[in-house]
Amino acid sequence: MNDLKVFSGRAHRDLAQRVCEYLDLPLGRLVTGNFPDGEISCKIDEDVRGRDVFLVQPTGPPVNENLMELLIMIESFKRASADRITAVIPYYGYARQDRKDEGRVPITAKLVANILTQAGASRVIAMDLHAAQIQGFFDIPVDHLYAAPVLDEYFRDMQLDADDLAIVSPDEGSIKRALTHVQALGGKLAIVDKRRSGASKTKQANLIGGPVEGKVALIFDDMISTAGSICGAAEMVHEAGAREVYLASTHGVFAGDALERIEAAPVCRVVVTDTVPLKANTATNKVEVLTVAPLLGEAIKRIHRNESVSRLFD
């Protein structure tokens, strides 16, 4: 492990520190800041020549600032002659634009993949990408991790009866994810039929499967951004007679009025992971944050030792 170095940008230094604690390594010395005109500065404060370097930097809000900082970090380590540079991106910004769903729009998930590769990244670690096919946008190896084991362990510790559970997919695109949780926790699968009318406007039309009446409903999604969709799903499940409703998501982005929507929604608790730092002005006690640092740390250790990462999910 002597050749392994972990560094962090400013996006989520706490998560990087927890990863280093798991690895029993000191966090690498890196100074980042801004020039008076807003440009980002970066200086590596230790020797990294020939080292296996991992850069922890989720590209969450402010997305453009964090993404640009990651690119500058990669460039710095490339010019400092690091042997391998792995970008550890727990939350991958611009992932929602992964295809042309209408004319004259970009595929920004592919654009960001190209930029990261061109900057000099040798490898990428990402967690719960919005669409699995984004792995194929990269011309370098991608290790796609899943927070499902962390979330499932939380609900398993609640000792919920499998016959009393309803696992709910908030839309058709999350059915495969929901089935994974059904296999781990038991219960019946229910699906919310969601209709999208714009970039941030959705409407819940029907509830398929179930039943949810009298059940404890667990609604799983990859991210909570404005919380409009998942709170709408919670409302529908509650109206269908669910006894308790819990929301679970890997990425708690909580943009705009998300926290206010969650506070008003008929949910007992919202469980997210620390892939994105939680806002300091969190005004609800419904949100609980689980750490993915051991999962990221174990993946980093296995990659450094050229061991299997997929074994983590067997």
- Which residue among the candidates 5, 110, 194, 215 is catalytic per the annotation? 194
Whether residue 43 lies in the annotated active site: no
Q: Over the chain, what HEC string results?
A: CCCEEEEECCCCHHHHHHHHHHHCCCCCCEEEEECCCCCEEEEECCCCCCCEEEEECCCCCCHHHHHHHHHHHHHHHHHCCCCEEEEEECCCCCCCCCCCCCCCCCCHHHHHHHHHHHHCCCEEEEECCCCHHHHHHCCCCEEEECCHHHHHHHHHHCCCCHHHEEEEECCHHHHHHHHHHHHHHCCEEEEEEEEECCCCCEEEEEEEECCCCCCEEEEEEEEECCCHHHHHHHHHHHHCCCCEEEEEEEEECCCCCHHHHHHHCCCCEEEEEECCCCCCCCCCCCEEEECCHHHHHHHHHHHHCCCCCHHHHC
**Residue whose C-alpha is closest to residue 117's, from 56, 152, 51, 70:** 70
Q: What are the residue numbers of the active site?
A: 194
